[in-house]
Amino acid sequence: MKIIILCAIIVSALLVAGCTTISSGSTTANPAAPATAIPVPTAFTQGASGNILPMNAEVVLGTAEKQFNVSIYSIEIDPPDESGKHTINIYVGAKNTGMQPHNLTWFSKLTDIYGKTYGGIGVSHAGTGARTRDIPLNVTEAARDYIVINSDKDFATLSNGALLDVYFLEYRPEGSPLIPDYHVTWGISPGIIK
């Protein structure tokens, strides 16, 4: 039994290690064809079983009626503004695979290699997060979230690689607490943010 479990762990590690493709020389990361969708059945789950997912991993969230597949659509970097602030635009695609139209809100957080964080719940996209319209069945919508980085030094550190945590909230009335229903973590490869 231990050998079977050990083999399963090794095969999983090999599959995850070979799934990331990155466009070289580009400030935009457009993952290649998504990896097999990974079910995440419980609320507020970090990746699948606590794993950091590769950039092209597609994750299944929700239940049968309100189920959706999410993946990183692209990461785009704006030129720095006059004060030297950098804006990192994060587009996450959400495909409605459930049984009824529904919308989502999500907040993005980046963590650099030293553990410093940027963005997060109630912070990214000037505090509002990314929001979709009602997504029809079998339709994907990519909404933009953004994080502002205030210094060249912090921005340069993020170019060495980062973690992207995305906190998803299903629809709730205005003024409701920002408690995420789902949490997914993707690894951002070095050189994507530059």
- DSSP per-residue string spanning 113-137: TTS-EEE-TTTTGGGT-EE--PBPT
pLDDT mean for each 10 residues of the chain (194 residues): 38 33 31 42 40 92 91 96 94 95 94 96 95 94 97 95 95 87 95 95
Tokens of 68: 């959706």
For the sheet containing 67-77, what is the strand order? 38-39, 59-62, 67-77, 86-96, 140-149
Tokens of 159: 């170019």
pLDDT at 67: 94
